[in-house]
Structure 1
């Protein structure tokens, strides 16, 4: 039940080109999930952490929480940022997983269409073979092992 952001929420130039086409829509497709994950959540995560990853912030937090001389307010702020980045990475992972399965669904759909077209073509060819069988006179048929041998192909010289 994610609604794509709109209005002032997507005015950032790093967001608008990617999300404006989905503004205000309910997130229901893989393409929307990828756009939201890569161009909304990730942009906000990078702004909050000044471009640092969860792993970098978590390492700083762990080191600072071991340091007895560290400012408790700074440690708490870093812990909050660590939690925010963890939740952002988790949500991005879930959305990108939805994108992957959406892509696989599209591929499977076109594979099914191709299989049905192929089966229709094979049905048509089978029908034409049966029709051809009924239109060839018996004396013109070439049957394997029936005594009549097909003429050999001319030698290429």
Structure 2
């Protein structure tokens, strides 16, 4: 009785699992093709050996970044691992260096962190302007602060620092995060495709074994 139940279940799963597995394999292959097509439309190329060497020399990337980039130097992004390396070891590396050179503390080198730092400096600037113009009200001081920040020839160091932080935030962190988000999203879908293909292959294999067991004729 037990043997017959086992064989019946083996026949069922011997058919069902390969079907599910083939579906997972097809889905995984589709995910990889989709990622390749999306990255191909962006036409992003890894830096070449000379660029990597130069940027390592001037400190735009770290030795670990250079090592990872060198493995794909000059290649056009077409898969998830390449996308992740470009996002983390090139784009993010440049974002960190730009923040460091702008005097932003490492723990505040984010889009939100730079914005908060600019706001704090803006409060200091308004306090300095208020000391210089005690006759002005809060609204006038706020307007004067904006004017000084927008003036490339301002005499206030704080205004110059705030202007540089605004530029860093919009050109470095906003754009950098947008690029990284797109690349890491591609990596995520590529990883989903890889897992689907692994699981699909396993299901097909297990289903094949069960099918053999279920449809094998009993001796005697």
Q: Normalising to structure 2: TM-score of the pair?
A: 0.54
In structure 2, distance between residues paired with 1:98 and 1:10: 23
Distance 1:76 1:15 in 2: 30
- Aligned-residue CA RMSD (Å): 2.0
1:125 aligns with 2:183: no
CA drift at 1:59 = 1.3
* 1:81 is aligned to 2:123: no
Cα distance in 1 for partners of 2:207, 2:192 equals 22
Equivalent residue, structure 2, for 1:22:
72
Write the distance in 2 (CA, Å) between the matches of 1:114 and 1:49.
Answer: 46
Number of residue pairs matched? 132
Is this contact kept in 2: 1:29–1:99, CA < 8 A? yes
Q: CA deviation at 1:65?
A: 4.7
Contact 1:14 1:43 in 2 (8 A): no
Which range is displaced more, 85-94 or 20-29?
A: 85-94
Choose from 83, 96, 99 the match for 1:46: 96
Higher relative contact order (CA 8 A, sep 6+): 2
Name the structure 2 match of 1:96: 184
Local SS of the residue matching 2:71: helix
Instruction: Report what 1:152 is aligned to.
Output: none
User: For the structure 1 residues 125 and 14, does the alpha-carbon distance in structure 2 shift closer, same or farther, using more than 3 Å as the test?
Assistant: closer
> Cα deviations across residues 66-107 of structure 1 (Å, max 9, x unaligned)?
644465242332211011211112221222222222112111
Note the residue ranges of structure 1 that are not aligned, 5 or more in a row: 137-157
| Residues 1:7 and 2:95 are matched in the alignment | no
Asked whether the equivalents of residues 4 and 23 of structure 1 are also in contact (C-alpha less than 8 Å), the reply is yes
Question: Could you tell me the TM-score, scaled by structure 1's length?
Answer: 0.74
Question: What does the per-residue CA deviation read over 1:41-74, in whole Å, with 9 as the maximum and x for residues that have no partner?
Answer: 1110011110422222111223445644465242
Measure the CA separation in 1 of the matches of 2:49 and 2:210: 53
Where does the alignment leave 5 or more consecutive residues of structure 2 unmatched?
1-42, 57-62, 101-105, 130-144, 153-159
